[in-house]
Amino acid sequence: MSREESNKLRYTIAFIAEFARKYGLGERQAHNYMRRFKGMEYLSDYYDVLHTQSFDDAIESMAVICHRNGGRLNPSAL
């Protein structure tokens, strides 16, 4: 595994944990939610931008993306 792939994986794990904490979910629930509502795809596609933002800003963006794709978590609940 390259260094870049390792960094991306560590960021993704940390991101899922922070998203779960913000929304009071288990990490598995958060991952499943983001996968179901295209958040994991968004995280992969826009990693280069997201990892330069604060977790709060990136989580807000993720919540909006998931909400637009049918997720029921309220993005403004942050």
In a domain, 57, yes or no: yes
Give me the pLDDT at residue 74, please. Answer: 80
In a domain, 44, yes or no: yes
Give me the pLDDT at residue 75, please. Answer: 78
Query: CA 59, CA 26: separation in Å to the nearest integer?
Result: 15
End-to-end Cα distance, the chain: 35
- Answer for the pair 75, 67: CB distance below 8 angstroms, yes or no: yes
Q: What's the pLDDT tens digit per position in 14-67?
A: 999 999 999 999 999 999 999 999 999 999 999 999 999 999 999 999 999 999
In a domain, 77, yes or no: no
Phi and psi angles of residue 32, each rounded to the nearest 5 degrees, phi first = -65, -40
Domain that includes residue 43, residue range: 3-71
pTM: 0.91
Total domains, the chain: 1
In a domain, 61, yes or no: yes
In a domain, 51, yes or no: yes
Residue 77: CB partners within 8 Å, gap ≥ 6? 23, 63
Query: CA 62, CA 23: separation in Å to the nearest integer?
Result: 12
Q: Which residue has the higher pLDDT, 17 or 78?
A: 17
